[in-house]
A and B are shown apart, each in its own frame.
Chain A
């Protein structure tokens, strides 16, 4: 197992380096003068010289790359041109929302997708199967941005003043604010230090923060605000998970050990739950890892629709204002996160299925 994990880790490193290289080259290949495209057409020569000096643009490309790598590894993503503040600070503020959104969506996708796939496989070729697969097929074809707007329209307007009313935008209702757990517990923290940043990053996960501080009002409100975005974002992964669960379970249900379990008189629930489903889950785990990419990317669209200030909206705003350090940082962070998640999935796969380790 140690050898297996080490090999997977070593395989991930070139991909991570490649991702950083591609992002580096992408941002450097902006057509035209980088200074003019970042500071604007009317930037003076002096301003441009200063800009090139500050950003090390006068140096040779390989030198720039080495410096850039060194900074990235230390978590220094440079300064946002638009806001003149460290990009890492923006990530501390905005990344937690995106993480919470993606995880909630993943939870929704699993909670609906797996039962849907199981029902479809158990009722193979019956009405329930057809119905589940219609849902799954429509689900994979759903434009997230369209579904999001429809959900907002339905739950914020049609359902207004009923118990189903849900907010169409924002993270917390006006007047509410989340008090960081370290303040609630009276810790004295230097907010500019590394440790302070870590604590702030953790406390910006509003659901987690309000859960540990026992602030039920904020907890309920932040969950209510996340329901619609999470459902919109979950649709495609949900459909993919339902399909893979169904086909994988159908495959397993035809195996000898399932027939044996049935022959010895086990209840159908035991056959499915204990014998079939456990073995059918392996491909599902892989797909879940791959869907994390779709979740991260879909978060860009979802955040934009529901007015959530996560890294997705930061990315879109940065593109329109040509704030390239932010574009670069968000791309590197999201892609690295995606690679690391899939690395974990790979490793867990080796744990779940011992045969993989020996390959």
Chain B
């Protein structure tokens, strides 16, 4: 039934042959459309670059993220400006003197190589974003499918709790949760997980509500399948698609929120090479050493932008009304 309805977007003869053709899977088609869209392309390049940077960090970074360079390098000073001979033609990277040590993004307040820290920071941000979203989506999807599938008191209790959580401005509630649990990257992540669950639960519930009325669910039921089996094999897989888009956009929010908490001193603690923490510890030096504020922030922005564009692209690619 579903294959019959899903016309192959690449078929040249739309009317007679499409029943005989091998159907393109939803995801394969979506990926093809994503690749052809400008937002999707830019998003994939940004996120691909970020993943590469995180995986290859030890190869890209010349130093370890927490390596203090005093005594290891001749003439190294704290908070020196970027200096890199190969990029000499860009004024920003021009060295002050001949024998100044080469540091692409300069050194920070503790005489560590800023570039290495920025590179290693990608690992933390990606890990934070993915962990937060995976946990939040899992819990949210579980609650949402329970609420949607077994309507009644379970639905009422779960969704009223979700309403209350949504009643708070999300970042503020995350701050309050961290305030109670105590600062630290794990608690910051937990705070962001809690505030992002309701959105996933709501979307999952809406999906489950509409799918459980479909004929193929009724067919399963008439064959004697148990409720859990129907939910797990028939309903949930088909309700997950909108969650994928939300989760991609959620990665952007999660990374931004955790970085914001770290900036306030509630998330990752120094000497962690987390971008928000790096920015916070040098924020008072913004007038004297702006590069220490500029680059970590730029990385946060590019990462968040990448996930936002990817999410937007995915939404368009998965939207049947936009299929060509």
A184 in the interface, Cβ–Cβ < 8 Å? no
Count residues on chain A whose CB falls below 8 Å from chain B CBs: 51
Contact B167 A19 (CB under 8 A): yes
Q: Using Cβ atoms and an 8 Å threshold, which residues of chain A touch B235?
A: none
The answer to whether A294 has its CB under 8 Å from any CB of chain B is: yes
Contacting A at CB under 8 A, from B112-158, are: none
Quick one: given A15-B167, A19-B168, are A138 and B176 in contact (CB under 8 Å)? no
Which residues of chain B are within 8 angstroms of A339 by Cβ–Cβ distance? Answer: 167
- B69 contacts A by Cβ under 8 Å: no
Known: A14-B160, A19-B164, A149-B297. A293 touches B169 (CB 8 A): yes
B176 touches A331 (CB 8 A): yes
Partner of B167, one of A31, A146, A316, A335: A335
Task: Judge whether B259 is part of the interface by a CB distance below 8 angstroms.
Answer: yes
Residue A223 is within 8 A (CB to CB) of chain B in the complex: no
The docked-state distance in angstroms from the alpha carbon of A245 to that of B75 is 55
User: Are A298 and B167 in contact (CB-based, < 8 A)?
Assistant: no
CA distance in complex: A303, B264 (Å): 11
Q: A153-B290, A338-B168 are in contact. Are A146 and B264 (CB under 8 A)?
A: no
Task: Kindly count the residue-residue contacts between A and B in the assembled complex, taking CB atoms under 8 Å apart.
Answer: 140
Contact yes or no, B180 A297, CB < 8 A: no
Complex Cα spacing A319 to B182, Å: 9
Q: Is the beta-carbon distance between A146 and B301 smaller than 8 angstroms?
A: yes
A101 at the interface (CB under 8 A from B): no
A26/B167 contact (C-beta < 8 A), A14-B160, A301-B263 known: no
The answer to whether B176 and A23 touch across the interface, beta carbons within 8 angstroms, is: yes
Asked whether A300 lies within 8 Å of B171 as measured between CB atoms, the reply is yes
Using a Cβ–Cβ cut-off of 8 Å, how many residues does chain B contribute to the interface with A?
Answer: 50
Contacting pair A331 B172 (CB below 8 A)? yes
Give every chain A residue within 8 A of B175 (Cβ-Cβ): 297, 300, 315-316, 319
Could you tell me the dominant secondary structure of chain B's interface residues? helix
Q: Report yes or no: B293 in contact with A138, Cβ–Cβ below 8 A.
A: no
Known: A300-B175, A315-B175. A141 touches B308 (CB 8 A): yes
Give min CB distance, A335 to chain B, whole Å. Answer: 5
Contact yes or no, A153 B176, CB < 8 A:
no
Given the known A-B contacts A26-B177, A145-B279, A149-B297, are A300 and B264 also in contact in the complex, defined by CB atoms under 8 Å? yes
* Pair A149/B283 contact, Cβ less than 8 Å: yes
A318 to B297 Cα, complex, angstroms: 26
Identify B308's interface contact among A15, A22, A140, A292, CB under 8 A: A140
Across the interface, name the chain A residue whose C-beta is closest to B249: A140
Please tell me which one of the listed residues A140, A142, A149 contacts residue B286 in the complex, with CB atoms under 8 A apart: A149
Instruction: A29 to B139: give the CA distance in the assembly, Å.
Output: 22
Question: 8 Å CB contacts to B: which residues of A287-323?
Answer: 292-294, 296-298, 300-301, 304-305, 315-316, 318-320
B298, closest chain A residue (CB): A146
CB-nearest residue of chain B relative to A335? Answer: B168
Contact with B180, one of A30, A292, A320 (Cβ below 8 angstroms): A30
Pairwise interchain contact B179-A319, C-beta atoms closer than 8 A: yes
From B165, B172, B293, name the one whose CB has the most chain A CB atoms within 10 angstroms: B172
Contact B300 A146 (CB under 8 A): yes
- The answer to whether A18 touches B160, judged by C-beta atoms less than 8 angstroms apart, is yes
A to B CB contacts below 8 Å, 21 in the list: A15-B163, A23-B176, A31-B181, A31-B182, A137-B309, A141-B256, A143-B263, A145-B280, A145-B283, A146-B296, A153-B293, A294-B169, A297-B169, A300-B171, A316-B265, A319-B178, A319-B266, A327-B180, A334-B169, A335-B167, A339-B167
The 3 closest A-B pairs by CB, nearest first: A146-B297, A18-B164, A293-B169
Beyond A15-B163, A140-B308, 8 additional pairs, beta carbon < 8 A? A138-B305, A143-B297, A143-B300, A149-B279, A156-B287, A297-B169, A301-B264, A331-B168
